[in-house]
Structure 1
């Protein structure tokens, strides 16, 4: 997709974040961050990488998982119909990690759309509005903290899958949750090793 189209999709998502009613979902998205290639110089892109920060506790949003209701939220904002790779985060932990490198805050529930950052992204000068990179020690600590949360999430997802394995109803939501949690855990483990 063209750079201008990617910026358009990002702007549209930021606007949708601000328009959704507060009581419509089980959680609220409180921040929208962009990272990856859209923070580079203008060029054609395959995907727009964003981090969606929720008001949920950190234990409810382990790395690479989706909170309950995320699919509904994604459909309501057209996130699922546009070329986004969205990673869900908790407000109770830093948004950045080994994959979400030096993200830029596009929208927050407190302040709305950050026009300065949006203009910098559009102009290809986002480097000027990005936070500094963490030190190697800070990054290691961040990944260790995420791994701890991820292991708890993996145990919980495994138990939920086991409890429903032979019960009535669809197993797919539980197997998908287990798969996402496992993927996140293994990703973090690989980074530390």
Structure 2
């Protein structure tokens, strides 16, 4: 997609985040961060990468999983229909990790739209609004913390899958949850190695 289209999609998502929360969905988004190629120089992109931060406990948002209610939020904001890759995060832990490198905050419930960041992304000068790079020790600690959360989540998802394996009803949602949780754990394990 063209750079201007990518910026348009990001701006549209920021505007959706800035709207009052929909009480029907009960999914509380408190921050939106951009990361990846969108924070570089203007060029064609395949996808826009964002971190959507919710006010959920850390253990309810393990790496590479989709928290309860997030799917409805993604549909209502058109994220699921646009070329946007979402990483779900908890406000109770740092947004950055081994993949979300030096993100830029573009919206928060506390401060609203971060116009400076949107302009910098549009101009290709997002380097000016990105978080500083963590030290190797900080990054290692971040990955270790996420591994603990991810392993506990994988064990829970595995138990739910095991409990539901021979029960009536669809197994797909439980299998998908286990798959996402396992993928997150393995990704973190690779990053730690």
Q: Provide the TM-score with structure 1 as the length reference.
A: 0.98
| Deviation (angstroms), 1:151 | 0.4
Q: Aligned with 2:49: secondary structure?
A: strand
| Deviation (angstroms), 1:24 | 2.4
Instruction: Give me the whole-angstrom Cα distance separating, in 2, the residues matched to 1:22 and 1:77.
Output: 11
- Indicate yes or no: 2:16 matched with 1:29: no
| Deviation (angstroms), 1:21 | 2.5
Q: Is the Cα–Cα contact under 8 Å of residues 22 and 28 in structure 1 kept in the other structure? A: no
1:93-116 CA distances to partner (integer Å, 9 max, x unpaired)?
000000000000011111111000
Instruction: Give me the whole-angstrom Cα distance separating, in 2, the residues matched to 1:83 and 1:163.
Output: 36
Q: Is the Cα–Cα contact under 8 Å of residues 7 and 121 in structure 2 kept in the other structure? A: yes
How many equivalent pairs are there? 193
Indicate the RMSD between aligned Cα atoms, in angstroms.
0.9
| Deviation (angstroms), 1:23 | 2.5
| Deviation (angstroms), 1:163 | 1.1
Q: Is the Cα–Cα contact under 8 Å of residues 106 and 114 in structure 1 kept in the other structure? A: yes
Q: Which runs of 5+ in 2 are unaligned?
A: none
Q: Provide the TM-score with structure 2 as the length reference.
A: 0.98
Runs of 4+ in 1 over 4 A off after TM superposition: none
| Deviation (angstroms), 1:177 | 0.6
Q: Aligned with 1:37: secondary structure?
A: helix
Counterparts of 1:8-19 in structure 2, within 5 Å, are 8-19=8-19
Larger deviation: 14-23 or 101-110? Answer: 14-23
Q: Which runs of 5+ in 1 are unaligned?
A: none
Larger deviation: 99-108 or 13-22? Answer: 13-22
| Deviation (angstroms), 1:18 | 1.7
Q: Is the Cα–Cα contact under 8 Å of residues 63 and 185 in structure 1 kept in the other structure? A: yes
Instruction: Give me the whole-angstrom Cα distance separating, in 2, the residues matched to 1:174 and 1:184.
Output: 15
